[in-house]
Amino acid sequence: MTMSEGDLAVTELHFVRGEMVAQQPPPASMRGPMAWVRENLLSTPFNIVMTILIALLFIWAVPEVVKFLFVDAVWTGADRDACREVVQHREIGACWPFVWERLPYFTYGSYPIPERWRVDVFFLLLAVGIGWLLWLNAPRRDLGAGYFFVVLPIASFILLHGFPLIGLPVVDTNLWGGVLVTIVVSAVGIVFSLPIGIVLALGRRSNMPAVKLFSVIFIEFVRGVPLITVLFMASVMLPLFVPEELSPDKLLRALVGIAMFAAAYMAEVVRAGLQAIPKGQFEGAMAVGLSYWQMMRLIVLPQALKITIPNIVNTYIGLFKDTTLVFIVGIFDLLKTIEVARIDPKWATPVTSTTGYAVAAIFYLIFCYGMSRYARATEARLAKAEKR
Amino acid sequence: MSIDLPAGDRPAKVAFYNDPKVRSVAYQVALCIVIGVLVYGAASNAIDNLEKAHIASGFGFWHNTAGFDISQTLISYSNLSTYGRAFWVGLLNTLLVAGLGIVFATILGFVVGIARLSTNFLVSKAATGYVETIRNIPLLLQLLFWYNAVLKALPSLRESIVIPGGIFLNNRGLFLPAPIFKNGFLFVLIAFVIGVVVSVGFSVWARKRQERTGQQAPVFLTTLALVVGLPAIVLVAAGVPLEFAYPEAGRFNITGGLEVVPEFAALLFGLSIYTAAFIAEVVRAGITSVSRGQTEAAYSLGLLPGPTLRLVVVPQAMRVIIPPLTSQYLNLLKNSSLAVAIGYPDLVQVFTGTVLNQTGQALEVVAITMAVYLSISLFTSLAMNIYNSRFALVER
């Protein structure tokens, strides 16, 4: 469109810009760290108050923790005098020499010193098995499952308990302790709870009334009572139920209790997974003529277990924390060894308890947090696979 | 195209052992037999073993003298009381700590759960840190920490921390002034009950009127005035019939007042803080489950953020929150049995601990304890199922 002289007055009123203005940066108040602070920390009066309160909490708590764990901590020493304010004439934080000295006890309990290499080998075998299963792109994961659920339990029993025929003397379970027992109890719970839980979940969804009834009774009974009472039952009632000469040893009784307890919770997790499988999958499997077990093994369980992985791992986290309860029926797990060591007169100081508990807390925090990160990563991976 | 089957032609008869119905019955009979044999074997072994160990059976011990003391009793109890009485003392202690734990855990859990969704960076990160740390440390370890490293490390009796108002804190517990109610206090209670009844009636009337006319009534202020104000006026009018018995520090003991034993405090702390982390996650999941469109629709209708949360988001979130919240309450109740590790006299510590050791009647004692927890759990699940069927979202 062209403009003539006579239109000039009109065009001045209707000015249209010909070229674009260069893009302006957002105003200074809307960008940069200051804007972030205003947006995220100081958006309303209430938020300002909350920010100040939380900041004060951090300013108070973080230096206290750092001071206790590092600045005021004692790093070397031979006995409790190194960690006593009266002797050292200064403020005392964590008493690390106590932990250094008791570290073998926290790890192996009273396991005989010349035999402790067996425990190390067990830890190594277990780490290999866990790594194989958790690494989703690992080669031959089917072999890995066989290794973890069949080879590893047998090998660990031979290694830890002993097998005199091949020159491994028997080590009584009373001598086991520390991290070893914590790991053994949780590993047994993990290995046994899944298969038993799957069977119970299938039983609960079965069409046979008797099978369904027994599964429901078992699951609801175990889930309705505290783990402590299950452990008490296993440790004081199990010996009554078997002939005297077959009476199982203390650790085995606790293991039975833990496995039963974990299986009932696992059954509910697996059942939720089974319920999420569309009916068409069952009907399709039956239509092509698969038997019940073929249908479950080839069609339903692979799908159900896959979507349940995050919940299974969460159950394992709970199980791992719950293993501390075996302490109450007199088994020397990590927490019990710390309880015993912290009241030992050689190291008894006001800070010993806190130091010991801090070590245990860090141990459980690392393992449980690691597991929950794994569960979350798997969940994200599954969600990505679902989105097509 | 249709296939004409000759009349009367049936599919080839399968062998009876391949008939699914026969198989199903056979499996179930086999299962019943196996379980029956196991139960019979266990029972006969138990009878054998009990006879060999000369342990009495049956519930006769219920009426025997207990002969041990309990550090915290809500009902009168001495070492001359019966085992049955000890059972009730333990059960009440369990219910006390679980009840208070549920209240504190709910308050803390809702605060932390909402804080995790806050737009304030510092607040949401602090809440996340709290949840991730507390959830990943075993409860038993936390209880031992509170009891041994915090409460037992408080100053001794001589160096008690004195908080103004007659409160003493030392490694034997927390000593608070105990209220003593005098004669006229009954009127205050009556005023309180009247206040509650009237305010319930008022809120029902206000809701009906709002549904009819759309006019709102100041329900909150009226309730506050009736429930708090009315008893306060009566209290003053009756000449303040209330006194406090202050604890007094002696040389070896603190007498009078209300004593909170450190075992109770440690258990209450540990349970509330631990369960609150789980409740926070439940609350967060519930609130995020309400789709953003609901909030936006409420805003576009002109509702303010407060009423939006109260009238639109929370009612829908509660539907998602309540079932897992109940199971957290049950977990708290079951976890209160960890009291045995720090020596708080709850049901498990008193009954499965001391009574079991004294009588040796493991079967009966463990069975009674389990029956108590089991009946509370089953009763709660029943109530939950009824709630779910009433409030479940009815979809077309």
Rounded to whole angstroms, how far apart are CA atoms A271 and A301?
10
- Tokens 């010996």: give the residue: A239
Cα dihedral: B152, B156, B159, B164 (round 10):
50
Residue B144 has pLDDT above 90, yes or no: yes
| Average pLDDT of span A273-286 | 91
Residue B396 has pLDDT above 80, yes or no: no
Q: How many CB atoms lie within 10 A of CB A342?
A: 23
Radius of gyration of chain A (CA): 31
| Pairing status of strand B173-176 against strand B258-260 | antiparallel
Q: Which of A2-11, B68-77, B349-358 has the lowest mean pLDDT?
A: A2-11
Q: How many CB atoms lie within 10 A of CB B245?
A: 15
Least Cα separation, residue B298 to chain A (angstroms): 21
Task: Report residue B174: phi and psi, to 5°.
Answer: -110, 130
Contact between B66 and B48 (Cβ < 8 Å): no
B288 vs A: CB within 8 A: no
For residue range A233-242, list pLDDT tens digits in order: 888 888 888 8
For residue range A356-376, list pLDDT tens digits in order: 999 999 999 999 999 999 888
| Average pLDDT of span A320-345 | 91
**Which residues of chain B neighbour A39 with C-beta distances below 8 Å?**
119
3-state secondary structure at position B240: coil
Average pLDDT, chain B: 86
Residue A256 has pLDDT above 70, yes or no: yes
Residue A33 buriedness (CB in 10 A; 0-12 / 13-18 / 19+) = exposed
Give the residue among A212, A231, A235 at the shortest CA–CA distance from A222. Answer: A231
| Average pLDDT of span B125-149 | 93
**Which residues of chain A neighbour B121 with C-beta distances below 8 Å?**
40-41
Residues 315-334 of B with CB under 8 A from A: 334
Closest residue in B to A48 (Cα) is: B120
Which of B135, B140, B335 is opposite residue A327, by nearest beta carbon?
B140
CB contact under 8 A, B137 and A365: yes
Q: Which of A47-61, A301-315, B247-261 has the lowest mean pLDDT?
A: B247-261
Residue A88 has pLDDT above 70, yes or no: yes
Confidence of residue B236 (pLDDT cuts 50, 70, 90): confident
Give the residue with greater pLDDT, B261 vs B56: B261
For residue range B268-301, list pLDDT tens digits in order: 999 999 999 999 999 999 999 888 899 999 999 9
pTM over 0.90: no
Contact between A261 and A230 (Cβ < 8 Å): yes
CB contact under 8 A, A357 and B144: yes
- Tokens for B271, please give them: 């349970």
Least Cα separation, residue A262 to chain B (angstroms): 15
Beta-carbon contacts of residue B285 (< 8 Å; ≥ 6 apart)? B320, B321, B324
Provide the pLDDT for residue A181: 94
Least Cα separation, residue B307 to chain A (angstroms): 18
Which of A41, A232, A360 is opposite residue B121, by nearest beta carbon?
A41
Inter-residue long-range contacts of B85-91, CB under 8 Å, 24+ positions, other chains counted: B86/B350, B86/B351, B86/B354, B86/B355, B87/B62, B87/B347, B87/B350, B87/B351, B87/B355, B87/B368, B89/B345, B89/B350, B90/B345, B90/B346, B90/B347, B90/B348, B90/B349, B90/B350, B90/B351, B91/B347, B91/B372
**Which residues of chain A neighbour B149 with C-beta distances below 8 Å?**
353-354, 357
CB contact under 8 A, A40 and B121: yes
Residues 37-96 of B with CB under 8 A from A: 41-42, 45-46, 48-50, 52
Interface test with A, best of B52, B91, B121, B368 (most A CBs within 10 A): B121
ipTM of the complex: 0.87
Which of A228, A342, A357 is opposite residue B337, by nearest beta carbon?
A228
Provide the pLDDT for residue A1: 47
Task: Report residue A261: phi and psi, to 5°.
Answer: -60, -50
**Which residues of chain A neighbour B138 with C-beta distances below 8 Å?**
321-322, 324, 335, 364
Confidence of residue B1 (pLDDT cuts 50, 70, 90): very low
**Which residues of chain A neighbour B90 with C-beta distances below 8 Å?**
none
**Which residues of chain A neighbour B28 with C-beta distances below 8 Å?**
208-211
Residue A342 has pLDDT above 70, yes or no: yes
Rounded to whole angstroms, how far apart are CA atoms B352 and A230?
11
- Domains (ranges, CATH) in chain A? 96-386 (1.10.3720.10)
CB contact under 8 A, A321 and B378: no
3-state secondary structure at position B256: coil
Interface test with A, best of B33, B337, B347 (most A CBs within 10 A): B337
Provide the pLDDT for residue B93: 93
Q: Which of A28-42, A178-192, B31-45 has the lowest mean pLDDT?
A: A28-42
Q: Which of A8-17, B229-238, B377-386 has the lowest mean pLDDT?
A: A8-17
Provide the pLDDT for residue A34: 82
Closest residue in B to A323 (Cα) is: B138
CB contact under 8 A, B50 and A240: yes
Give the residue among B139, B369, B352 at the shortest CA–CA distance from A329. Answer: B352
Q: How many CB atoms lie within 10 A of CB B314?
A: 14
Q: What percent of chain A has pLDDT over 70?
A: 96
CATH class, range B83-158+258-391: mainly alpha
